[in-house]
Structure 1
Amino acid sequence: MPHGLLRRGHKLYYRDTVPVDAQCLLNRLEIWRSLRTDSLAVAMRRLPGIVARIEMEIEHARAMAGLPVDATLIAPLNDDPAEHPVPVPIAPSPSERSPLTLAEAYRNYIDDPTRAWTANTREAYETSRRLAVAVIGKAVPVASISRTHCRDMLDVLRFLPANAGKLFPKLSPREAADHARLRGDIKIISAANANSLMSNMSSFLNWAVNEELLARKPARGLPPISASRRTVSAAVCPAISN
């Protein structure tokens, strides 16, 4: 196996050590990138592009910190352009023809070998994964996850009953939250718990951006759930609170 390539499960990954001067800038010692294949031949063809993107990421961090940089690592060279580029049709592989779904991407995140999960942390992220898949939809392409999806997730978390799966086994999380919102007397999860679940979801979305599965971070800047959300709802809908 070439240096830096590692196999985890059925996938190949590239691991690169961050230079000492950039470790504090990136807040990490290593950078891992999935090559999204189990074929060594395919991985070797994809590797140069992965290495180049990592070099660009490191050099960009140096530039943002005001350190000397090699500009050619940030902006690609264009001094030898092809005058008449010939398009080469590439038949997509079966995995490339089908967009990666939210359920598949979230599972890949949980199984990412760079995550040193403790048992409790893994279970917390599993809970967030099950909730996100139930609310947003397991078949939704991860590349299409938007801010609207994130706001929808927050809306469910605001009134999600505590132990919803046990209390309302036949209801989806959205249905259980709507039921609690209308009743007004059902114990709901704490704001801290709700925000923790959303934070776990945000971590997954950040990972998806780093893995180039998602163009931008759709949950960035969303306000946390207030501990007084029940009171706020009653003030807005006094008829429901009676």
Structure 2
Amino acid sequence: MCSTGVSYNRDADSRITLSDRSKNRRADCHTRLPYNPPARGVWLRGAIYQFRVRVPADLRDALGCVHVDRSLRTDSRSLAVRLSRKVAAEVDAIFEAKRLEIGLAVEGRLLSSPSVPATVEKTIKPRSEKASAETIGPSLSQVYDRYLADPTKRRSARTMLAHQTTRRVVEDVLGAETPIADITRDQCRDLLETLRWLPVNLSKKFGDVRVRDAAKAAKADHLIRTINGTNLNAYMARFATMMNWAVAEELIGRNPARGLQIAEAVHPQDRRKPFELWQLQRIFNAPIYTGCKDEQNGYSIVGSHIAVGARFWVPLICLFSGMRLNEACQLDVQDVREIEGVLCFVISAKSLVGTRDKSLKTKSSERIVPAHPELLATGLTAFVERKRGEGAVKLFDDLPLGKRGFRSVAFSRWFTRFLVSIEASSDLTCFHSFRHGFRDACRNAQIDRDIALRLGGWITGGSHSETADDYGSGYRPQLLFEAISLIDYQGLNLSHLQHPRNRAD
């Protein structure tokens, strides 16, 4: 046998020839392939690996069983092998402890100190008792605590709020104290079915009612509005993300919630639509822009008052900048400033005045957006200077800070009522439609795609290299201003907004 494992042959002239392997190969020499021997006690039942070991003969009567069996709860062989070593060590320790206990009993010196770990002692009970008594690993609530506190994960305040909301629903349905390793695919499907009938604004409308009870009520009463497919899938996606984390941390062997989503009847592009021209005309010709009784309760009544706060400016700013609603609502006065001679909105979670009430959806949301010429003509500069002169910290300090830390919550509710009051509401349109309209306006103006994505704070994807995007400091403000100046909504006339009191002196 060749020690190297490589076959060769010598001819009569003592020369080594390698051209004809079939002639050169010796019968007693071959290439050795690696062999992966089976791990002790590991075997496959269906798709899940199990651990089994025979109980020594001298301990069978004391332990009441012939074999120790435990499910390793994973379909990964490599993970099963690692887990089996830990289980084997625990079982060996039990055997030794039991022998010691028997020996002391024989000598009449039985000690009262515990010798067998409770979680492992359950494993060696007869199979009929084990199935009902076995509890393995941390609970769902404990895993959620560890997941949300993981320092390697960076999450915005809004993302944390979404995870906390999902957690409350999941724990209510599956049970906070349920061992995470015991959660099955059927239970996850039951969670999905319950979410299908989850009422909108659950805690507000139903108080402390259990999620299952609220879902049953909604299923029986079709007048109760339930969450849409997008929100339902978002709940399941966040739960599945947590379970994937648990798999990576080796708390469970596989994710039973993987891929559980409902098929949505609405195409992604049809979930939200831009405002149509007639809607934009009604919005910006409403009394709050042309003259109303007052800016609060009388905003829909014709009068002589010209609004000057958030209800006037936020829709206009989002129309011509593509900002998300909360990005506009949370602006500090110092976030509107000149950069290289261009008046810009600085969209950032950081604050020059030390406030801590700002957050962004994604990392790419941090950007600068030059003020559109239409905003300048309407009097944005004068408005900002007036707020600065008043010593205001927030640009829209007339917006209350919601319980969840977002100024956009109250404004969003008001804007929904506002659309109804001017008869401009329609299916698939809401405040976010301004952002959809801005993206279409960028396309119609033939603005470079990369510039459009950066103006709107969208994540670049497709063929774009994320590594390359990390280099440099971005586009010059003047170039961005030239691009955003091309934004136009054909047929929308806003000249009436250039009121003398809005103009800079």
Q: TM-score, normalised by structure 1?
A: 0.54
Q: Does 1:212 align with 2:262?
A: no
Q: In the alignment, which residue of structure 1 is the partner of 2:230?
A: 192
Is the 8 Å Cα contact of residues 136 and 179 (structure 2) preserved in structure 1? no
For structure 1, the residue ranges without an aligned partner over 5 or more in a row are: 1-59, 61-74, 77-85, 229-242
String of CA shifts for 1:7-64, please: whole Å, max 9, x gaps: xxxxxxxxxxxxxxxxxxxxxxxxxxxxxxxxxxxxxxxxxxxxxxxxxxxxx9xxxx
1:64-213 correspondence runs (5 A): 87-89=92-94, 99-213=137-251
Cα offset for 1:214? 1.1
Is the 8 Å Cα contact of residues 154 and 225 (structure 1) preserved in structure 2? no
Cα offset for 1:146? 1.0
String of CA shifts for 1:138-174, please: whole Å, max 9, x gaps: 1100111111121111011101000111111141111
Point out the structure with max Rg over C-alpha. 2
> Partners in 1 of 2:263 and 2:212 — Cα distance?
16
> Partners in 2 of 1:156 and 1:225 — Cα distance?
16
> Partners in 1 of 2:198 and 2:265 — Cα distance?
13
Aligned residues: 147
Is the 8 Å Cα contact of residues 143 and 214 (structure 1) preserved in structure 2? yes
Cα offset for 1:94? 8.9
Is the 8 Å Cα contact of residues 157 and 177 (structure 1) preserved in structure 2? yes
Higher relative contact order (CA 8 A, sep 6+): 1
Is the 8 Å Cα contact of residues 194 and 225 (structure 1) preserved in structure 2? no
Quick one: which amino acid aligns to residue 211 of structure 2?
A: P
SS of match in other structure, 1:99: coil
Cα offset for 1:92? 7.8
- The more displaced of 213-222 and 182-191 is 213-222
> Partners in 2 of 1:197 and 1:168 — Cα distance?
19
> Partners in 2 of 1:112 and 1:190 — Cα distance?
30
For structure 2, the residue ranges without an aligned partner over 5 or more in a row are: 1-77, 83-90, 98-114, 121-134, 267-505
> Partners in 1 of 2:118 and 2:198 — Cα distance?
38
> Partners in 1 of 2:257 and 2:195 — Cα distance?
14
Quick one: which amino acid aligns to residue 173 of structure 1?
A: V
> Partners in 1 of 2:212 and 2:243 — Cα distance?
21
Q: Does 1:222 align with 2:267?
A: no
String of CA shifts for 1:61-94, please: whole Å, max 9, x gaps: xxxxxxxxxxxxxx99xxxxxxxxx944597889
Quick one: which amino acid aligns to residue 131 of structure 1?
A: V
> Partners in 1 of 2:213 and 2:178 — Cα distance?
19
Q: TM-score, normalised by structure 2?
A: 0.27
> Partners in 2 of 1:92 and 1:182 — Cα distance?
52
String of CA shifts for 1:119-145, please: whole Å, max 9, x gaps: 011111111111110110011001111
> Partners in 2 of 1:94 and 1:118 — Cα distance?
41
SS of match in other structure, 1:160: coil
String of CA shifts for 1:163-189, please: whole Å, max 9, x gaps: 111111141111111100100111111
Higher helix share: 1
> Partners in 2 of 1:120 and 1:180 — Cα distance?
27
Residues 92 and 213 of structure 1, relative CA distance in 2, 3 Å threshold: farther
SS of match in other structure, 2:154: coil
Quick one: which amino acid aligns to residue 223 of structure 2?
A: D
Is the 8 Å Cα contact of residues 144 and 214 (structure 1) preserved in structure 2? no
Is the 8 Å Cα contact of residues 161 and 187 (structure 1) preserved in structure 2? yes
Quick one: which amino acid aligns to residue 222 of structure 2?
A: G
> Partners in 1 of 2:265 and 2:207 — Cα distance?
26
Residues 168 and 95 of structure 1, relative CA distance in 2, 3 Å threshold: same
> Partners in 1 of 2:204 and 2:181 — Cα distance?
32
Identical amino acids, percent of aligned pairs: 36
Residues 99 and 151 of structure 1, relative CA distance in 2, 3 Å threshold: same
Quick one: which amino acid aligns to residue 230 of structure 2?
A: A
> Partners in 2 of 1:130 and 1:118 — Cα distance?
19
Cα offset for 1:98? 7.1
> Partners in 1 of 2:150 and 2:238 — Cα distance?
15
Q: Supply the RMSD in Å over aligned alpha carbons.
A: 2.9
